[in-house]
Amino acid sequence: MTSVSCNFVRIYKKLIALLLFIVLVVVVLKFCVVDKDPDSDMTASLPGSNSGIPDKLWQPKYAILETTMGEVVIELYWKHAPTTCRNFAELARRGYYNGTKFHRIIRDFMIQGGDPTGTGKGGTSIYGRTFADEIHEDLKHTGAGILSMANSGPDTNGSQFFITLAPTQWLDGKHAIFGRVYSGMNVVKRIGLVETDKNDRPVDDVKITRAYIKMN
């Protein structure tokens, strides 16, 4: 009986040790899995990801609009309108403008685009549905080639923009200027001459086939 009891005690101790080892392994594995999750979350929210807003140090100098009528290079005014420039540049980086139309064209006035619905009623900013006007007193609609935000009233900026075809000083203080045509003004002028209907919509679509950014 004594020998049997000793064997039982030894077996019992081994079972306890085995169970403790299994529990320890499970705990270690659990902590390893938990440690991976925060890294994934941080990666998803890094500045410049499609779900976030770029860091303020990210300031590409140019945006290129490849259209069905030629290429237009835009110089962005980061010093005067950083919030508006960031919105436009990030939307371009995401491919938001790819395939969109210049849905409103008025000869000797402006060409308007940036609405993915093509209706003039759509589009959102990277900050939400809309964001506030960023008006700078040094920037005026003094001539052709000015890049400015289209809106439906104060502080209703989204994704739509327009490029002027002539001086439009009556827009000063009402629309946020954030850049100019650096090259390709001949393309802008040709777009401004296309045939339109009674609602200022081009009879034949004029599209931005691709929009992208260039650092310098």
Report the alpha-carbon angle 106-109-113, nearest 5.
Answer: 60
Neighbouring residues of 94: CB distance < 8 A, sequence distance ≥ 6: 50
Query: Smallest Cα–Cα separation from 104: which of 114, 94, 95, 96?
Result: 114
Instruction: Calculate the CA 6 to chain-centre distance.
Output: 74
Cα distance between residue 174 and residue 160, in whole Å = 14
Neighbours of 82 (CB within 10 A): 15
User: Residue 96 corresponds to which tokens in the numbers above?
Assistant: 């938001």
Active site residues: 104, 109, 112, 151, 162, 171, 175
Neighbours of 212 (CB within 10 A): 16
Q: What is the DSSP letter of 161?
A: E
In this structure, are residues 87 and 127 in contact, taking their beta carbons and an 8 Å threshold? yes
